[in-house]
Amino acid sequence: MSTRFTPREMLEKLISFNTVSDRSNLELISFVESYLGEFGIHCQRVPDETGSKASLHAVIGPAVDGGVVLSAHTDVVPVEGQSWSHDPFHAREENGRLYGRGSADMKGFAATVLAKVPDFVASNLARPIHIALSYDEEVGCFGAAPLASDLLAKGPRPGFAIVGEPTNMRVVTGHKGIAVFRTKVQGHPAHSSQLHRGVSAISAAVKLISWLDARTAENKAEADPDCPFEPPYTTLHSGVIKGGEAHNITARHCEFVADIRLLPGDSKEAWLDAYKSFIEAEVLPDMQAISADCAIDVEELAYVPGLSEEADGLAEMEVRRLTGDNARHVVVYATEGGIFQEHGLSTVVCGPGSIDQAHQADEYIELAELDRCASFLDRLVAGLSQKQS
């Protein structure tokens, strides 16, 4: 007899797997494979280059086009440095909430989908359900693109995708993108009393960070008042910097990491090209006039495209019908939704729990949110089970 879980029981199981992004997620993936295998469902792994992590996708129902992707990431953020009142990888219920790392972000959605698998299998689906679980979302959405490509190459083409990030089951139709990059500056050391003979990598880095700040200020001044995002413009920001050897030596090295939070449709390439042009025209020549060894290197670390609002999008139409939510919702954080959309799938973000709990100590999800998600999936299955004329 096949194993059955309630959404809460499945969430407790998923929380028990420590899938912080710097660890393997294969134990969780193996559990899901075994569980789905009990229902005769074939799973396809999409491993990373090291083989220590994998995404997974599976199809339930007929091998025809027009189904739905239910997408979740399996990794969670670290707990080190946070004050948890209990073991973050052992779920605990209190006052109608289930506490544990990943409960809201976003194992709650994955758990509800997996718990509903027996109902999916028992339904007379006319269009299939694609389950898609990824790795490394929290560190750059590195698993989503290979997963989407493999899913589309090896199975019937879905009609739309639902990314189940925590939105309190509201329909999110747009989010910003993010480009993360590291800038390494090589200066020329000299005693600070002979400043004219040296090139401070820190001073050069300051010029570059000031350029980022100035672009953000320009974007703010030119922002469209009708833009629904908060803030309603693309932002450029450096969050990490290190460099220098001593207070009386012009710094040989300095590096910093920055991100660009892009409005949907804003070009990552255009921003980075403008940044590199500023380096080549305004910063590097003065440095190399003192020492030819001076250099500035820009390394792209991660990019997640924004999710653009779709005119008459199938995902929005279907999910609004199922939730009854007809309000306009956009968010400024990035999700894997933009990646599925970039692969040609109509996509929305909609899932149980609150983003306010994501990444927090004593992260939790309201059990009522799991119930709401389960009811939503019941309505989704009923719609997919209706024969199309």
The predicted-structure confidence for 358-369, as pLDDT tens digits, reads as follows 999 999 999 999
User: Annotated catalytic residue: which of 137, 165, 266, 318?
Assistant: 137
Average pLDDT over residues 91-99: 97
Average pLDDT over residues 62-70: 97
Reduced to 3 states, what is the DSSP secondary structure of residue 245? coil
pLDDT score recorded for residue 155: 87
Q: What is the mean pLDDT of the chain?
A: 97
The number of beta carbons lying within 10 Å of the beta carbon of residue 265 is 11
pLDDT score recorded for residue 13: 98
Average pLDDT over residues 2-15: 95
Pick the closest to residue 260 from 227, 219, 295 (CA basis): 219
Name beta bridge partners: 260: 179, 236
pLDDT of 1 > 70? The answer is no
Name beta bridge partners: 238: 258
**Cβ contact 163:337 at 8 Å:** yes
Name beta bridge partners: 366: 97
Confidence of residue 93 (pLDDT cuts 50, 70, 90): very high
Question: Is residue 75 among the annotated active site residues?
Answer: yes
Those residues whose C-beta lies under 8 Å from the C-beta of residue 178, and which sit 6 or more positions away, are: 259, 260, 261, 262, 302, 303, 304, 334
DSSP character at residue 308:
P
User: Annotated catalytic residue: which of 12, 33, 75, 362?
Assistant: 75
Question: Is residue 259 among the annotated active site residues?
Answer: no
DSSP character at residue 188:
B
> Rounded to whole angstroms, how far apart are CA atoms 242 and 98?
40
Average pLDDT over residues 139-151: 97
**Cβ contact 179:272 at 8 Å:** yes
> Rounded to whole angstroms, how far apart are CA atoms 205 and 388?
60
Confidence of residue 389 (pLDDT cuts 50, 70, 90): very low
Confidence of residue 387 (pLDDT cuts 50, 70, 90): low
pLDDT score recorded for residue 3: 82
> Rounded to whole angstroms, how far apart are CA atoms 243 and 310?
44
**Cβ contact 241:256 at 8 Å:** yes
- 227-286 per-position pLDDT tens digit: 999 999 999 999 999 999 999 999 999 999 999 999 999 999 999 999 999 999 999 999
Which strand (E) or helix (H) includes residue 121?
A: helix 117-122
Q: Distance of alpha carbon 219 from its chain centroid, rounded?
A: 24
The encoded tokens of residue 202 equal: 């820190």
- 28-61 per-position pLDDT tens digit: 999 999 999 999 999 999 999 999 999 999 999 9
CA-to-CA separations, 27 to 19, 75, 290, 313, in angstroms, rounded: 9, 12, 55, 36
φ/ψ of residue 350, rounded to 5: -160, 120
> Rounded to whole angstroms, how far apart are CA atoms 16 and 5?
15
Which strand (E) or helix (H) includes residue 286?
A: helix 284-290
Nearest-10 crossing angle of helices 7-15, 367-384:
110
Pick the closest to residue 135 from 251, 249, 26, 43 (CA basis): 26
> Rounded to whole angstroms, how far apart are CA atoms 339 and 109?
19
φ/ψ of residue 117, rounded to 5: -55, -45
The encoded tokens of residue 384 equal: 């997919």
CA-to-CA separations, 352 to 17, 169, 304, in angstroms, rounded: 20, 5, 22
Range 87-95 contact pairs with CB under 8 angstroms and sequence separation of 24 or more: 88/363, 89/15, 89/16, 89/17, 89/18, 90/15, 90/16, 91/11, 91/12, 91/15, 91/16, 93/8, 93/367
Amino acid identity, position 251? A
- 298-312 per-position pLDDT tens digit: 999 999 999 999 999
